[in-house]
Structure 1
Amino acid sequence: MTSTRPSRAEKVDAATPASRNRVVDFLRAAAITVVVLGHWTIIAVDPDGGVLPHGVLDGARWTHPLTWAFQVMPIFFLVGGYSNGLSWRSARRKEIGYAEWLRTRLRRLGIPLIPLLLAWLVIGVVAVRAGAPTATVQLASQMALIPSWFLAAYLMVILVGPPCLWLWERFGWWSIVGGIALAGIVDATSIAADQPLLGYPNYLLVWAAFHQVGYAWLDGRLSGMDRRMLLAGIGLVGLLLLVLVGPYPLSMITAGGDAISNSSPTRVTMAFLGMLQAGLVLSLEKPLEALLRRPRLWFVTVLVNQRIMTWFLWHLTVMVGLAHLLLALDARVLLPEPLTGMWWVTRPLWVFVLLALTGLVVLVMGRFETPRADDRPAPPVWKPIAAAVCVIAGLAVMASVGVVGESGVTWWWPLLPVAGMWMFGVVAVAGQRTSATRP
């Protein structure tokens, strides 16, 4: 007798509110998946040269135009703008203040980060004391913590999200134009002075400005194919002018041979890349909506989003660990020379192994993405802001230098975000009341 009981996928589909924009969740999951697969491909492992952070981009310059499709961080900020705008407006309706709203966002993003930082602190200490070269441990930790630059930038954007929403509601598209114009001035100053450090404000300016395109999507200001194609056209023309006439490189991902990086620090090119990608992706919104009405595809999307932070944060740690294990074993048969025919042929197997290993890590560490619901009273506004600053500062430094310096393990940088979240109340200390229910 055939069972008529609904499958798990059908139950999830039926439980999803009709008002939910499933494309937002799909794009978030797809963007992070592309980032993960891209990192696993771009970073090469040479049995003689060790781990090569920009191996493919440095050795095969024909791949640089492909980065216009595979540098998908703008899509994550587009989705973030939609989600954060929706979340902050909901908080305003419920009379939830900025401090409580920000603490909730920090818990969602920051708590899964804690085990990763503590793990790399331990790895750094053990490796250095075991006699591993400091430079090797530094590079390994820096590469493993590459995702932290994005998280630092995203947290900065969340900090200014509510006032940026006010700017959008008051000035509309001019608020985006103004932000990009300021970013252009920062870029011009940084490039003219040959000082990348002067370009660091654009981690905030570029991404905060583009994040507001998500507000435009939320408010229906990007409805219609004509508007979306116009946005894509502006992005394409802007990119072509900046790359062909201006000083910016073709690759949207940092390559060792380029004098300037488009992503480190973030350059104004990323805003135009985001416009191009957003216009093209949103032009597919209706067919994507139809596809996501299929219970199985929607179920996979939900599963990925449930563990998306763990998947993103740990994927390079798994790769760095496997790479150094194979190098230590001198397993040359498993490490073909990068960019050779055998190397390309074995990439699917490489990705499959990393998927399996990362999946095991997600099973263990994924529970940190579902902390207990927080029903404590709203904190003073300075507390979550101070916690966010600690997280951003620690992550920003580690994205550049890892957890090891010339004098040994710089333990204060991985501990700064952890301590900041604990001291300023993002992580509840013993005795503080939190709900036993899961969000």
Structure 2
Amino acid sequence: MTTTLRARAEKVDAATPESRNRVVDFLRAAAITVVVLGHWTIVAVDAGGGISPHGVLDTARWTHPLTWVFQVMPIFFLVGGYSNALSWRSARRKQIGYAQWLRARLRRLGIPLLPLLVTWLLISVIALAAGAPTAALQLATQMALVPTWFLAAYLLVIVVAPPLLVLWERFGWWSLIGGIVLAGLVDAVSISLDRPLLGYPNYVLVWATFHQVGFAWLDGRLSGAGRRLALVAIGAVGLALLVGLGPYPVSMITSGADEISNSSPTRVTMAFLGMLQAGLVLLLERPLTAWLARPWPWFVTVLVNQRIMTWFLWHLTALVGLAHLLLALGGPGLGPTPLSGLWWATRPLWALVLLGVTALLVLLFGRFEDPRTDDRHAPPLWQPLLAAVLVCSGLAVMADAGMVGPDGLHWIWPVLPLVGMLAGGVVGLRRSTT
């Protein structure tokens, strides 16, 4: 067994092109691991019948500074900027148009989403028919679909990635500075008027702006320790000023203990957090490159990336499903008081059990990350754009409110992405023969 795995690891290592930046793949895999473990930790489950999505953050303010480490969504956008710029430039060289490129990106990210939406739609219909409380279903669907907020934001950034790259190639760092200024103005209006809805444009503005740091990494504009330390300093000073002198809370993950959230909607603080994190991880690029040149670390990195969307999309479904099963059985294993010594001591076991449940889901649904080769002609531009709009609209609502409300199932929101993928031509009812 060990010999076979070693042989596979060596084969994968040998098949990897020299030009591939292995650190990009590693950071993506490491970030998803941190997100999964973080979600499994901050959710407080008690045998009294309640699940609190941010229970640890809500009850212990001393955990809030830790979110500067565990809120790693900026790392996804850093590697996304690097990968999207690389992908779009490759498409331009091959004379692949924007519509065809966008459809390919939508297929890669959207197809693994479909079974999750269908599964929760069926669960909701069956549970409501069986008389399940709507409040419990609303919380369950909301928690399970929290990961889709990132997917919605990332898809929107992908839509604007090619024009963003043009801005970057023409204006360089000024395009990033301009985006941060605009995001700050959006925050100023939203916070001063106490209208969080007015801050929602920053889901695109902040992440699209920070996404350009990935462009800078690819283009060598962040080479050398000096520039990376400067990025760390800008991020740290910006965060310190915004949190220390401004209205922003310490926690970079939504907490019920705060009046304002840094992540819902996304605030300009996340761009500075991203610069701080990006500078730090890029300072480690050289030793990481040397380490990932070994077959074993690279093999594990490749394995995680092969099913990364499935791990990310289903890890909270595993938590919600296991927690409700245990509650139905009387709450075995859910007894320790959150943040007590026994609670912390049992977190590794809790994580291992959830890892096993999620692994089963990955085995079942991971195949959706390997769609058939798309050999169709380039679509008209409106099709992938329509798909992106419908998918993002449905996901944005469900990530915030779930599929179920006090008045029952809100079927339109899970159906909207499904319709978008079909009507937008991202997936077809039959394979093209042309």
Smaller-chain TM-score range?
over 0.9
Q: Which residue of 2 aligns with 1:277?
A: 277
Contact kept, 8 Å, 1:309 with 1:369, in 2: the verdict is yes
CA offsets, 1:164-204, max 9 Å, x none? 00000000000000001000000000000000000000000
Deviation at 1:393, TM superposition (A): 0.2
Secondary structure of the equivalent of 1:7? Answer: helix
Structure-2 separation of matches of 1:273 and 1:346: 31
Shift of the 170–42 alpha-carbon distance from structure 1 to 2, 3 Å rule, reads same
Q: 1:166 to 1:60 in 2, by over 3 A?
A: same
Query: Quick one: which amino acid aligns to residue 391 of structure 1?
Result: V
TM-score by length of 2: 0.98
Task: State the secondary structure of the residue aligned to 1:425.
Answer: coil
Q: How does 1:227-266 map to 2 (within 5 A)?
A: 227-266=227-266
Distance 2:28 2:332 in 1: 37
Please state if 1:382 is matched with 2:378: no
The Cα shift of 1:400 comes to 1.0
**By how many angstroms is 1:335 displaced?**
3.0
Structure 1 position 338, deviation (Å): 1.2
Secondary structure at the aligned position of 1:388 is classed as helix
- Measured after TM superposition, the shift of residue 207 of structure 1 is 0.1
- Show the counterpart of 1:210: 210
Contact 1:148-1:396 within 8 A present in 2 as well: yes
Q: 1:243-263: per-residue Cα shift (whole Å, max 9, x none)? A: 000000000000001000000
TM-score, L = length of structure 1: 0.97
Per-residue CA deviations over 1:79-123 (Å, capped at 9, x if unaligned) read 000000000000000000000000000000000000000000011
Q: How far apart are the structure 2 equivalents of 1:5 and 1:38? A: 29
Offset at residue 129 of structure 1 (A): 1.4
- Does residue 108 (structure 1) correspond to residue 108 (structure 2)? The answer is yes
Where 1:256 maps in the other structure, the secondary structure is coil
The yes-or-no answer on 1:322 pairing with 2:307 is: no
Q: Write the distance in 1 (CA, Å) between the matches of 2:241 and 2:199.
A: 20
Q: Deviations over 1:369-406 (max 9, x none)?
A: 00001010000011000000010000000011101012
For 1:335 and 1:9, locate their aligned partners in 2 and report how far apart those are by CA, in whole Å.
42
* Matched positions, count: 432
Q: What is the letter of the counterpart of residue 346 of structure 2?
A: T
Q: Which residue of 2 aligns with 1:348?
A: 348
Q: Are 1:17 and 2:39 an aligned pair?
A: no
Partner of 1:298: 298
What's the CA shift string for 1:45-87, capped at 9, x where partnerless?
Answer: 0111510111110111111000000000000000000000000
Cα distance in 2, alignment partners of residues 4 and 114 from structure 1: 34
- Contact 2:124–2:409 (8 Å) recurs in 1: yes
Between the aligned partners of 1:5 and 1:153, the Cα distance in structure 2 is 37
SS of corresponding position for 1:45: strand
- Name the CA shift for 1:224/1:331 in 2 (closer, same or farther; >3 Å): same
For 2:161, the equivalent position in structure 1 comes to 161
Match of 2:365 in 1: 365
Mapped partners of 1:43, 1:211: distance in 2: 29
| Same amino acid, percent of matched pairs | 73
C-alpha contact 1:134 1:404 (8 A) present in aligned 2: yes
Deviation of 1:424 after TM superposition, in Å, equals 1.4
Mapped partners of 1:139, 1:400: distance in 2: 10
Aligned to 1:221: 221
Q: Matched residues in 1 for 2:259 and 2:36: separation? A: 25
**Partners of 1:5 and 1:404 in 2: CA distance:** 45
1:48-63 superposed matches below 5 A: 48-63=48-63
- The answer (yes or no) to whether the contact 1:47–1:337 under 8 Å persists in 2 is no
Does the residue aligned with 1:271 lie in a helix, a strand or coil? helix
CA distance in 1: counterparts of 2:406 and 2:154, whole angstroms: 29
Query: Could you tell me whether the CA contact under 8 Å between 1:9 and 1:296 is conserved in 2?
Result: yes
Tell me, in whole angstroms, the C-alpha distance in 2 between the residues paired with 1:68 and 1:363.
32
Structure-2 change in CA distance of 1:241 and 1:49 (3 Å): farther
Q: Which amino acid aligns with 1:384?
A: P
- Range that drifts further, 66-75 or 121-130: 121-130
Relative to structure 1, is the Cα distance of residues 256 and 9 closer, same or farther in structure 2, using a 3 angstrom cutoff? same
Task: For residue 4 of structure 1, report the CA deviation from its aligned partner.
Answer: 11
Distance 2:259 2:181 in 1: 23
CA positional deviation for 1:430? 1.7
Find out whether 1:176 has 2:176 as its counterpart: yes
With over 3 angstroms needed to count, the CA separation of the structure-2 counterparts of 1:56 and 1:294, relative to structure 1, is: same
Shift of 1:126: 1.1
CA contact (8 A) 2:375 2:432 kept: no
- After superposition, the C-alpha distances for 1:315-345 in whole angstroms (9 at most, x for unaligned) are 0001000001111111245432211111110
- For residue 432 of structure 1, report the CA deviation from its aligned partner: 2.2
Taking only aligned residues, the RMSD between alpha carbons, in angstroms, comes to 1.3
2:408 is matched with 408
- Residues in 1 aligned to 2:110 and 2:66: alpha-carbon distance in whole angstroms: 32
Matched, 1:189 2:189: yes
User: Gapped runs of 5+ residues in structure 2?
Assistant: none
2:98 aligned residue:
98
Aligned residue for 1:123, secondary structure, equals helix
Residue number in structure 1 paired with 2:311: 311
8 Å CA contact 2:6–2:296 kept in 1: the answer is no
The answer to whether the aligner puts 1:140 opposite 2:137 as a matched pair is no
Q: Find the residue that maps to 2:338 and give its secondary structure.
A: coil
| Paired AA for residue 380 in structure 2 | P
Give distance in 1, aligned partners of 2:10 and 2:400: 45
CA contact (8 A) 1:403 1:413 kept: yes
